[in-house]
Amino acid sequence: MIQPNQNPSELFEIRSADENDVKLILQFIKGLGEYEKLSHEVVATEEKLRKTLFRQKMAEVIIGEFGGEPVGFALFFHNYSTFLGQAGIYLEDLFILPEMRGKGFGKTMLKHLAKLAVERDCGRLEWACLDWNEPSICFYKGLGAKALDDWTVYRVTGEKLVEMAKG
């Protein structure tokens, strides 16, 4: 319970996810899919997450908890900048439960990732945002993030990926 003069962020803690969090991570992913109107694209399963996140260690997850209850997550991994000659952190997803937004939790999680990037000698922290997501765009710009309008993301998936791999 928040006391009258208590800041909600004082009850907010961030921890690294472990294999016991797989079900929770999938719930957050599905919540994000709903928010982004992309639920039909969420095909992740608990087993896929268990394998890729905790056995193969292809990405990392942090969980944000408010008063001991999970309220958000961030999934990230290292990339590499040839121009910088340094690794970076790429934030794949950041999600805070709708009823918990506006309390500074997302900002705290991004600051945590920035701190990790600095500790790991990374040259940058970056992410993508859907162009219609004005609340997030304003939020990111308020933190000093800059949109890279001169870049276009390309993606190959499914059958086209298999075709490309075959040559």
35 in catalytic set: no
Question: The sheet that has 125-127: what strands, in order across it?
Answer: 12-16, 60-66, 69-81, 86-96, 125-127
Domains identified in the chain, total number: 1
Q: Quick check: helix, strand or coil at residue 68? A: coil
- Give the range of the structural domain holding residue 126, as residue numbers without chain letter: 8-166
pTM (2 decimals)?
0.90
Alpha carbon distance 36, 145 (integer Å): 20
Task: Name the active-site residue from 80, 90, 140, 154.
Answer: 140
Token look-up 């958000």 returns 72
In a domain, 145, yes or no: yes
In a domain, 2, yes or no: no
In a domain, 77, yes or no: yes
Instruction: Please give the single-letter amino acid code of residue 48.
Output: K
CATH number for 119: 3.40.630.30
Whose CA is closest to 38, among 102, 132, 122, 118? Answer: 132
In a domain, 1, yes or no: no
Detail the DSSP E strand segments found in 21-166.
60-66, 69-81, 86-96, 125-127
The structure tokens listed for 67 are: 């008063």
In a domain, 107, yes or no: yes
In a domain, 106, yes or no: yes
Which phi and psi (to 5°) does residue 15 adopt?
Answer: -140, 155
pLDDT per residue of the chain (167 residues) written in tens, 0 to 9: 455 555 666 799 999 999 999 999 999 999 999 999 999 999 999 999 999 999 999 999 999 999 999 999 999 999 999 999 999 999 999 999 999 999 999 999 999 999 999 999 999 999 999 999 999 999 999 999 999 999 988 999 999 999 999 98
Burial annotation 25-54 (CB, 10 A radius, 16+ → b, else e): bbebbebbbebbeeeeeeeeeeeebbeebb
